[in-house]
Structure 1
Amino acid sequence: MKNVFFIQKLLFFFMMMLSILFSASSNSFLGIWMGLEMNLSAIIPIFLMNQNGKTEKSVLIFFLIQSISSIFMFLSFFMSMALFNLMKMLYTIMFLSIFLKMGMFPFYFWVPKVMEGLSWMNCFLLSTVQKIIPLLLIFTLNMNKLIIFLSVFNMIICSMNGINQFSLRKIMTFSSLNHLSIMILTIFFSKKLLKLYFVVYSIMTFMAMFFFKKKNMNYIFQSFFFNMSKISIFLLLVLMLSMSGTPPFIGFFPKMMIVLKALEMNLFISVNMILLSNVMTTFFYLRICFSSLFLKSSFMKTTNFYKKDEEGIFILLTLISPFILMF
């Protein structure tokens, strides 16, 4: 039974990857839209395979939001072919439907509710793989000012919302939306930088969510933080510093290159907003580490507890990845 379950999941994952390749190789909006719908039909069964008490509600919300955004996107595309006088308004509707599909401002309200009911690996798929095709769609839209304005606003709103959260899934949700805003801004600077930033972000997100899954962590303050060894706490600190873009970790280099490229294009307001949001996200990243670090230090004074960990490979990858990136 387990083998059948694994094969089914593998087939749906292969279908999801195939839909991304189909959209990336398509030279028309209709082809990209078809790949987007194939992607949706593949990701929902993957979400339902690892169920908990909130999964069905989360998947239902996700399906309804994706369906509504797909309908508006499809209608605006075909109406723009007939109503040339309303082309600008229809393009705006198409653009907003893409933002609804990604969960960007002003439609970010559904993403934390969906993430809260998914497993950590499904949260990783929703935060990374599901963003590829919408980013391809943004390439085709010529609405630079509106995209930059909403992306910058989304960056600030998500950074502020993440500060007062205690659920790790919600913190990672607002972190994902903040990184997504930076990736959308990067579209106008350099496609190579966008690819680099997306790969680095995906690596960091996978390592963080895999760590949370292994340690069964769901909230900042939990009793089983005491069962974490010093190696685990060090790994968590390195991961959070990397995601916040602190030098010399891997997350710093692509963010630094984006800031320098934006300064070359005289986008000073966007640079200031990126730096401001980075300060706020760094606060709630370090909040995750300091709670476990201080509790662990006080606990270790009275207990000779030690638990052997098997995450040494992740520590090694996190430490050497900046040097690999520089080369």
Structure 2
Amino acid sequence: MFYFMNSNKMFFIFILFFSTLISISSNSWLGCWIGLEINLLSFIPLISNSNNLLSSEASLKYFLTQSIASINFLFFILLKMIFMKNFEMNNFFSIMINSSLLMKMGSAPFHFWFPNIVEGLSWFNNFILMSWQKISPIILLSYYFNKNFLILIIMLNAIIGAIGGLNQTSLRKLMAFSSINNLSWMMSSIMISENLWIFYFLFYSMLISIMCFMFYMLNLFFINQLFFININYLIKLSLLINFLSLGGLPPFIGFFPKWIIINFFMNNNFYFITFILIMSSLILLFFYIRIIYSSFMFNYLKLKWIKIYFKNKMFILLNFISMVSILGMILSTFFFL
């Protein structure tokens, strides 16, 4: 992780975190917009790398899409301030402001930039893009959302996130579509309460950080690399547990926040949206298991020169987090009792 040894990168990471705080603690829409702009301008130096053409292309694409979303956001905020008295236009403005925020966080149907950009980034940048960069748009969305429009977007995210990942061989694109699917759960939680969203987001961030960290340590970018990598079985088991937890399989801790959301939706008669969320999670689990299956079954190529060693401390940490994942439902059941 050369980021923490490079003062320039450290500075931009600090500004990135700080800009999100500016955005979510601002008391005017203009302040929120300024926070989003600082966030965009601090993330671009992190992802651009002159040695890698893909990352330069990714930074340019990211800049263009985020700029368009920001322009839309500012334009409709100003229009809303002008037509404050006109209640018929309110619905339209809320949908347009929501759309620009959805585009910022890479939500369907404005998601087409997201998998392309993810492909050009390192695992650490991917982690930032899939977790931290979602915070400010989703909190701004919670301030002013159109309920019917948001329900439609939640269902669209769940379906596109599940189906989009089916024919992917790149692990980065798989994680991108998984992130789009998880976004539907995040939006569901923000509709219910902000505390529940924080709860879901913490679990999601923990799991996605483990996945990105493991892929970074093993230097994996495609599914077929798992076929012939000579990995310790404990590491493979850890990968399996954390993948299933991220997919939301019941014995693991990743299911716990999803359980609360499902519980709320069922109590409030949102049966159709719950059905779509659960079905999309099943498809997600299918392609997670496909990754794991390949790493477990195709162990015939024991290449002597590919030996992967984790540092002891890292390995203990991974095992601990895997244990937390397994004991998750026991802990959560106690929580409900």
- Amino acid of the structure 1 residue aligned with 2:124: M
Pairing of 1:166-185 with structure 2 (within 5 A): 166-185=169-188
Q: Specify the alignment match of 2:102 in structure 1.
A: 99
C-alpha change, 1:299 and 1:67, in structure 2 (3 Å) is same
Give the Cα separation in 2 of the matches to 1:315 and 1:285: 19
> Which among 249, 256, 260 is matched to residue 257 of structure 1?
260
Q: Specify the alignment match of 1:165 in structure 2.
A: 168
**Gapped regions of structure 1 (runs ≥ 5):** none
- Amino acid of the structure 1 residue aligned with 2:134: K
Give the Cα separation in 2 of the matches to 1:184 and 1:293: 34
Give yes or no for contact 1:50–1:119 (8 Å, CA) kept in 2.
Answer: no
C-alpha displacement at 1:320, in angstroms? 2.2
Are 1:208 and 2:208 an aligned pair? Answer: no
- Give deviations 1:233-259, integer Å, cap 9, x for gaps: 111111111111113222011111111
**Gapped regions of structure 2 (runs ≥ 5):** none
- Give deviations 1:167-192, integer Å, cap 9, x for gaps: 00000000001101110111121222
Give the Cα separation in 2 of the matches to 1:270 and 1:4: 42
- Using the TM superposition, name which of 33-42 and 197-206 deviates more: 33-42
C-alpha change, 1:91 and 1:315, in structure 2 (3 Å) is same
- Give deviations 1:174-218, integer Å, cap 9, x for gaps: 000110111011112122211110000000000001100111111
Kindly tell me the number of residue pairs found equivalent between the two proteins.
323
Q: Specify the alignment match of 1:73 in structure 2.
A: 73
- Using the TM superposition, name which of 111-120 and 215-224 deviates more: 215-224
C-alpha displacement at 1:3, in angstroms? 9.5
Give yes or no for contact 2:3–2:9 (8 Å, CA) kept in 1.
Answer: no
Give yes or no for contact 1:16–1:43 (8 Å, CA) kept in 2.
Answer: yes
The residue matched to 1:222 in structure 2 has which SS? Answer: helix
> Which among 112, 132, 157 is matched to residue 129 of structure 1?
132
Give the Cα separation in 2 of the matches to 1:179 and 1:28: 29
- Give deviations 1:107-131, integer Å, cap 9, x for gaps: 1111010000000000000001100
Pairing of 1:146-165 with structure 2 (within 5 A): 146-165=149-168
Identical pairs, percent: 35
Pairing of 1:25-40 with structure 2 (within 5 A): 25-40=25-40
- Give deviations 1:275-323, integer Å, cap 9, x for gaps: 0010000001111100010012x456x99x9765442321212212526
Give yes or no for contact 2:218–2:308 (8 Å, CA) kept in 1.
Answer: no
Give the Cα separation in 1 of the matches to 2:3 and 2:253: 37
Give the Cα separation in 2 of the matches to 1:225 and 1:36: 43
Give the Cα separation in 2 of the matches to 1:313 and 1:72: 43
- Amino acid of the structure 1 residue aligned with 2:195: K
The residue matched to 1:19 in structure 2 has which SS? Answer: helix
Give yes or no for contact 1:232–1:309 (8 Å, CA) kept in 2.
Answer: no
Are 1:114 and 2:117 an aligned pair? Answer: yes
Q: Specify the alignment match of 2:141 in structure 1.
A: 138
> Which among 233, 236, 256 is matched to residue 236 of structure 2?
233
> Which among 311, 318, 328 is matched to residue 314 of structure 1?
318
TM-score by length of 1: 0.92
C-alpha displacement at 1:227, in angstroms? 1.7
